[in-house]
Structure 1
Amino acid sequence: MLQSDCLRGLILLLVGNHVYTQDQCLKASVNSCGDCITSGPGCAWCKDLNFTKQGEQEAVRCDTAAVLKEKGCSSIIAPKNNLNKISIKPLSAGPNPVQLYPQEIELNLRPGKPHTFSVEFQRAEGYPVDLYYLMDLSYSMKDDLENVKKLGSDLLNELKKKTGNARIGFGSFVDKTLLPFTDTSEVKLRRPCTDKFEPCQPAFGFQHVLSLTPDGNTFKDMVAKQHISGNLDPPEGSLDAIMQAAVCMKEIGWGKSTRLLVLATDDGFHMAGDGKLAAILEPNQGTCQLVGNKYSKSNIWDYPSVGQIAQKLEEQNIQPIFAVTKKMESVYKSLSQLIPKSAVGVLSDDSSNVVNLILDAYNNLTSEVIMAHDSLPNFLSIKYTSICRDGEKLRDKGRCPNVTIGQKVSFDVTVTAEACIKNKTFNIGPLGFNEKLKVTVSTRCECECDDTNKPHSHCQNNGVVVCGGCRCNKGHIGQRCECKVDQKDEASLRAQCRKENGTECEGKGDCLCGRCQCHKTDGNSHYYGEFCECDDEHCELFNNTQCAGHGKCRCGECKCDPGYEGNACNCAISNDACIENGNVCNNRGTCLCGKCQCQRGYMIPFCKECPTCQAPCQQSASCVECLAFESGPFEKNCSKACGHLKVSVIEQLLKGDCRVKDKEGCWMTFTMTEQLGFDKYFVNVRKSRDCPEGPNIAAIVGGSLAGVALIGLLILLIIKACLYASDLREWRKFEKDRKLEKLSGTNPLFQNATTTIQNPTFSGDS
């Protein structure tokens, strides 16, 4: 059964996204009634016993109902789509309002055949509201926190005026407590605030403060206990906080209500991938990880992606309201475009307008009804048509704006199954509301023919009738179960009817005792060949004529009359239109149907020009050198290696396309003109080559010696000058000292005795 369903799904996929109509039946491989009705919604099956003739394939039973009637069929099977309503509570208000009708249905569909049903929605007065206030407590939000402490009760009271039943909760966030997001020094982790006198709580990622409660005083008291915190970089861990607020349903206390999540911040947000800056490589898993009301995986999991956030908010029917500062408005409006049923409001400098902002956003969100579905099973598609007011229909839209309380709107929902499925479910409902319509889809892929399981004379009493055809007992095969074989032989006999283990008789005949009995084609002839692989009706057309009228169709291929060729015999065998200067396509292509099929980038009509081709100057240099100057690497086998070139040496070239160095470093100048065919050139080479002059050895040596002598002489002169200057300086000093001696009468070099000794016995007398 599973293989059959897969085969039918494959057949439908091969058919593609075809737009089916009731008068179409695109048959593929049809061997049974089930195959037929899954081939397309326009297909029907004839179960008359004698509808098929001997040797005729069962596929002729499958066609549109109109065609089958024309052929005389009296018993036609064409299943229709069916809808069964399981739960149909009427729309109502009150304590337990019902806003969506119906609540559960079952669809039994034919593959490929759309079915449309209506869904109604009516906003009920007094529908409860849950609002969770998620606040950024980074240091820049200090003034905003003070105002939220004062405005909590006012916000709850205003919501109760709208619905009569409202609850409010509170959570806060900053960022991951890792570098580069937060200063990780021990002192800063305990107290990240810059003002040492400011009450400040330690750095944290996200913390749940207050579950949803109808008591405004409790909200006021709990928020009053909150203090500001801080981090390093401007973007915050907003998405971490939103994810936990959305998935921690029990901890937050979300109820059966309109769920609002208010995010108040003055900065942007980190997203998936930013965690790598702190060596966080594990992706966000999107599950609740609150331990002690704090996000325990903040420093382990990366930030969630915007796609994850949008998915979780939609799954939990939570509508976010981004209350942000003016400078962040454009950022969060871009984010809002990626999240259905979200709104953006601009906070004042101190968040004093937060109540009005949230109320306006609530009115806008709840007044727009967007019908949507969750993830669809494979092979199912869905479309919506909105009927919003006064019978006006909005095609391919599941949206109604400005819906007031008590107003009823409806949506035509069209569901199509593209393949066979069984008991696949999905939900439809307005975004932001918990009420959903449960849809269970199955397909009608088997025919209900009311057959008995008794042997039937139509099947030679060797099988039973199933929807007009025979299902043979073991040991019997054939269209009417007329061939008897042993069980061991049956598989081998059927194998003889398969070409290269393919389809039995290529699906164009019946296997009778190991031989294919071919069916008729769509024309007046029969399929033929050992495996019924051939027919003479399906060859290529040209001008809507098979084989262009210049050949015969044989086994699916055109056999052309003399003088014609081509897949459809549409080309006369003649090269006249491809000849220029006596050559077919300049020997650079082939002539087909009177047109050149050029190669290597050459252009039609005669493969004469090639815009992308360039003369192979560098590759031909060695050959040009040996042919023109009898030198170079090919000198010894020049004629053999360079036979593709014809070289002519001339005195002067007006223009040289190629300029290449030879083996000796001289410049050769030449032009290359391509000849017929490929890689054959005629080369004109300038006789003279431009060679660089050799070095003047004598001048180099003489100049070098002279330079060395000059440098040596210069050094000697410098040394002599330094010695002369030193001697002159000493002489002048000596002369100066001599002049001083003559002026004072004393020798400046003479020094008096430092000690005088007197002899006591000396009287001074001589």
Structure 2
Amino acid sequence: MTSIIGNLLPFLNYRTKPLEMVKWLLFQLVLASVLGIGLAGPSCNPTRAEATCRECINLGPTCAWCKALNFTKAGEPNSARCDSVETLKSRGCQRADIINPQNDMELQVDKPLVHSGDNVIQIKPQKVKLFLRRGSPQNIEVKFKRAEGYPVDLYYLMDLSYSMKDDLENVKKLGGQLLQALRSVTKSIKIGFGSFVDKTVLPFVNTHPEKMKNPCPDKTEACQPPFDFRHILKLTDQADTFTQEVGKQSISGNLDPPEAGLDAMMQAAVCGEAIGWRNVTRLLVYTSDDGFHFAGDGKLGAILTPNDGQCHLNKNGIYEDNTVYDYPSIAELASKLAENNIQPIFAVTTKIMPIYQELSKMIPKSAVGELKEDSSNVVQLIKDAYNNLSATVILAHKNLPDGVQISYTSHCSDGDTRSDKEGTCSNVKINTEISFTITVTAEKCLTKTESFEIRPLGFTEKLEVSVQMRCGCKCDDKPDLSSHCNNKGTVKCGVCSCTEDRIGKFCECDPGKRSTQDLDAACRKDNTSATCSNQGDCVCGACICHTNPNKKIYGQYCECDDQNCERNLGKLCAGHGKCDCGKCQCDKGFGGTACECADAKGQCAEGVNGTTCSKRGTCTCNECKCLAGYQPPYCKECPGCPSPCPIYVHCIECLGFSSGPFEKNCTKSCKNIQHRLVDDLNDQNACKEKDSKNCWMNFLMKELDGVSQYEVMIKKKAECPEPPNVIAIVAGGVAGVLLIGLLILMVWKLLTELYDRREYKKFEKEKARSKWNDADNPLFKKATTTVLNPNFNED
């Protein structure tokens, strides 16, 4: 219960809702029950028959090992040496013989918190070494005291796109004002300057040669050529130098509203030597009146290579590879800013503040301030943002080794205590001491000493932590052969380590020509089982079962016991039988898997002479458990089963009429059917199926007890159709064809006659309606000469 309440404290600190807290607590209790760890935390439960001290210690922080020579009893495995300290003591192991490594911490550098001139120490301790046991948490108490006048480096990063024209004039006058404002909170201040526009490819800038020389909308106005990021002034404490260098700058221009601000921040973060960052508080002031491009936008300009997070400034301070690498992602930029201990301050105009407020949520230790349209309030904005950032202390880790978990509990000056993945305190005043409890847990044994850092973000000081594991056992064993091991082995933490030619718990076995693997295989039931079923010792190829006060372990492979059987009402085998190797052997008069039923199988049969469950199920606890489809109480009916009539039609044909596909093998194929022939069959449930000769067979099937057992009554005579009269069919067919042909000819003749008569009448009508012209033919001339034949006699 202590461990669960300890885990509950973080939720209580956050004032968790009661319902949520109850749900979480119930989940913890169920989880503890499922895992078998109880309410006292993880239990020590070794499962290997040949456990060693190292294996035991690595099971968990509650496990200890007894190295006393004669601690284990006859038949007990070496794993019996592994248990909790309290249990080992109760079993007679002396405290001096118990191996139980504990966590430890060595303070290697622990200078006091001071602020004297240039000697500033704000965090203690500064270096620790942890000696951890797997799964055991170790606390580190860390104190932090914010010092007054901590040195500051400020790099001013300005958007020089055309929309920032008015702002540039005000920034040119900032040098003295910035230094004067920040010197009110620190005596050591340096300031630098850089600017950005956008990537110098379409569609981000106009790549026309004239526009690349002067991107201003008005050709008469002088603008400097577009660029991505340019580092102008290295960090300096000279206000005049800042004013002079910034005064030389002129505005530039691009096409789309978003700028290359993330590109500029990345280069300012990773080019530490060029920027001149000192090992002090580092501020990056970012001013703009528009949004920013991020990873993926470079594809619009055919820039496909992801940002590599490296410095690419040339000797003139220009990011010349801006057309090679894409914009960085927000996650990548946040990582680089944290890695280089840089705190960004976003000074942006009102219209785009929501964008940068969301960006600030993704970048630890950052601030957003509202910038006036002409940047006239930038000095006060930076001062306020710096004070807010300095008053917030965030403790975070870096380079945490794999397998190591860390959590933070913050004890802030306002009395608030909270737990989170980072240590956080707000409104921390100068010279006010706060503290953090850092809990480090190794979930596995590390192979070597690992190190990581814990530092307050925005400050250069850090706590170095190295971790060394305690995964072994120091038992002070002698290297000589021991009589305890029959002078054939040495003692290691109470267990015999035999020479190559001997095996056994006390090196008592001579394997002879058999290998250790052969002897081990003789103690396994099969290749998939454990040696002696993990319930005995394999001694010289034979299993010696463990003794257990709660159960009897037996069998050739110690695979049996008298307790691993089904229980009923809390009683083993319901109190009416004995447990034998996992199965209940019931007393006379009782049955069931747990002997829970009084034997009364007659209740599963219908009538005095009925069979148990009609041979279609099993009688369990005096009730029939029927086969699929059959219905209790006696498994007699099967409402959903298909009709057997079409299934056994070939059997009916061969049994009743000695024909069909099963004719030659009828007895063997149809041995589940009892049949008899009847003269007549008048039953509405009778089946009627066709045989292979297309005759109708009438039969009645009655299902007997058992599966697919039938009694059949078959009508002796099948109903076969009369054979056809071939001669009549042929004669009728020929006559029919002739008749049809004659009929067709007559119809054709009739239609032809009707058509001719109609055409003749039409001709007659047209002839009657015609009128001829009586005029003389102009080409015809009558004869004008009359010749008389002298020989002609008129008489």
- Which of the numbers 73, 87, 91 marks the counterpart of 1:53? 73
1:246 counterpart SS class: helix
Q: 1:97-496, aligned counterparts within 5 Å?
A: 97-292=120-315, 293-389=317-413, 392-396=416-420, 398-421=423-446, 422-486=448-512, 489-496=515-522
Map Cα deviations across residues 285-330 of structure 1 (whole Å, 9 max, x no partner).
1111112312232111111111111111111111111111101111
CA deviations on 1:258-309 (whole Å, 9 max, x unpaired) are 1111110111111111122222221111111112312232111111111111
Between 1:48-57 and 1:351-360, the stretch displaced more is 48-57
Do the aligned residues in 1 keep the contact of 2:290 with 2:352 (CA within 8 Å)? yes
Q: Encode CA deviations 1:650-708: one digit per residue, 9 max, x unaligned.
A: xxxxxxxxxxxxxxxxxxxxxxxxxxxxxxxxxxxxxxxxxxxxxxxxxxxxxxxxxxx
3-state SS of paired residue (1:106):
strand
Change (3 A) 1:559 1:439: farther
What residue in structure 2 maps to residue 518 of structure 1? 545
Whole-angstrom CA distance in 2 between matches of 1:565 and 1:598: 18
Aligned equivalents of 2:428, 2:195: Cα separation in 1: 33
Q: Once structures 1 and 2 are overlaid, which stretch shifts more, 554-563 or 51-60?
A: 554-563
- Structure number with greater Rg is 2
Verify: 1:85 aligned to 2:85, yes or no: no
Is contact 1:547-1:560 (8 Å) kept?
yes
How far does the alpha carbon of each residue in 1:551-598 deviate from its partner, in whole angstroms, 9 at most, with x for none? 7655556788998767x78899999xxxxxxxxxxxxx9999999999
Look up the SS of the partner of 2:74 in the other structure.
coil
RMSD, aligned α-carbons: 3.4
Matched AA of 1:415: V
Q: How many Å apart are 1:469 and its aligned residue?
A: 1.3
For residues 592 and 363 of structure 1, the distance between their equivalents in structure 2, rounded to whole angstroms, comes to 81
Residues 1:128 and 1:538: Cα distance change in structure 2 (over 3 Å): farther
Tell me which amino acid in the other structure corresponds to 2:155: Y
User: Helix, strand or coil for the counterpart of 1:264?
Assistant: strand
Query: Hey, what's the Cα distance between the residues in 2 that align with 1:17 and 1:202?
Result: 72
- The letter of the residue matching 2:293 is H
Change in Cα spacing, 1:546 to 1:196, as seen in structure 2 (3 Å) is: farther
Structure 1 Cα separation of the partners of residues 362 and 402 of structure 2 = 24
The alpha-carbon distance between structure 1 residues 572 and 85, as it changes in their structure 2 partners (threshold 3 A), is farther
Number of residues of Structure 1 aligned to a counterpart in Structure 2:
574
The 3 A distance-change label for structure 1 pair 398 and 542 is farther
* Matched position secondary structure for 2:265: helix
Segment of structure 1 superposing worse, 442-451 or 544-553: 544-553
Distance 1:547 1:124, change over 3 A: farther
Given the superposition, is the C-alpha separation of residues 168 and 459 from structure 1 closer, same or farther in structure 2, using an over 3 Å criterion? Answer: same
What's the CA shift string for 1:244-269, capped at 9, x where partnerless?
Answer: 11111111111110111111011111
Instruction: Give the 3 Å change call, closer, same or farther, for CA 253–543 of structure 1 in structure 2.
Output: farther
More moved, 94-103 vs 22-31: 22-31
Which 10-residue stretch deviates more, 319-328 or 453-462? 453-462
Q: Distance in 1 between matches of 2:532 and 2:454?
A: 47
Residue 76 of structure 1 corresponds to 98
Distance 1:68 1:217 in 2: 78
Amino acid across the alignment from 2:114: S
Contact in 2 for aligned 1:452/1:465 (Cα 8 Å): yes
CA pair 23-492 structure 1, distance change in 2 beyond 3 A: closer
Maintained 8 Å contact 1:131/1:259: yes
CA contact (8 A) 1:22 1:41 kept: no
> Hey, what's the Cα distance between the residues in 1 that align with 2:625 and 2:219?
88
Work out whether residues 521 and 537 of structure 1, in 8 Å CA contact, stay in contact via their aligned partners in 2. Answer: no
- 1:365 is paired with a residue whose SS is helix
CA distance in 2, matches of 1:419, 1:150: 59
> Any stretches of 5+ residues in structure 1 without a counterpart?
1-14, 576-588, 601-766
Unaligned runs of 5+ in 2: 1-33, 602-616, 630-795
Offset of residue 599 of structure 1: 11
The C-alpha deviation readout for 1:337-383, integer Å capped at 9, x for no partner, is: 11111100010010000000011110000111111111321221111
Conserved? CA contact 2:164–2:251, under 8 Å: yes
Deviation of 1:28 (Å)? 4.2
Q: Name the CA shift for 1:67/1:183 in 2 (closer, same or farther; >3 Å).
A: same
Percent sequence identity is 53
Find the aligned partners of 1:457 and 1:282 in 2 and give their Cα distance: 71
CA contact 1:368–1:399 (8 Å) conserved in 2: yes
Q: Distance in 2 between matches of 1:542 and 1:308?
A: 62
* Residues 598 and 181 of structure 1, relative CA distance in 2, 3 Å threshold: farther
| Equivalent position SS for 1:360 | helix
- CA offsets, 1:464-492, max 9 Å, x none? 11111111111111111111235872343
Rounded to whole Å, the distance in 2 between the matches of 1:202 and 1:468 is 82
1:23–1:64 CA contact under 8 A, matched in 2: no
- Partners of 2:87 and 2:360 in 1: CA distance: 55
* Contact 2:143–2:435, Cα closer than 8 Å, also in 1: yes
> Using the alignment, how far apart are the partners of 1:518 and 1:490 within structure 2?
19
Letter in 2 for 1:427: E
Equivalent residue, structure 2, for 1:630: none
TM-score (norm 2): 0.67
Asked if structure 2 preserves the Cα contact closer than 8 Å seen for 1:26 and 1:40, the reply is no
In the alignment, which residue of structure 1 is the partner of 2:44? 25
1:136–1:264 contact (8 Å) kept in structure 2: yes
Hey, what's the Cα distance between the residues in 2 that align with 1:78 and 1:238? 57
> Which amino acid in structure 2 is aligned with residue 34 of structure 1?
R
Q: Is the 8 A contact 2:568 2:596 kept in 1?
A: yes
Separation in 1, partners of 2:367, 2:377: 16
In structure 2, C-alpha distance between the alignment counterparts of 1:597 and 1:121, rounded to whole Å: 76
Question: 1:558/1:263 Cα in 2 relative to 1: closer, same or farther (>3 Å)?
Answer: farther
Instruction: Name the SS for the 2:119 alignment partner.
Output: coil
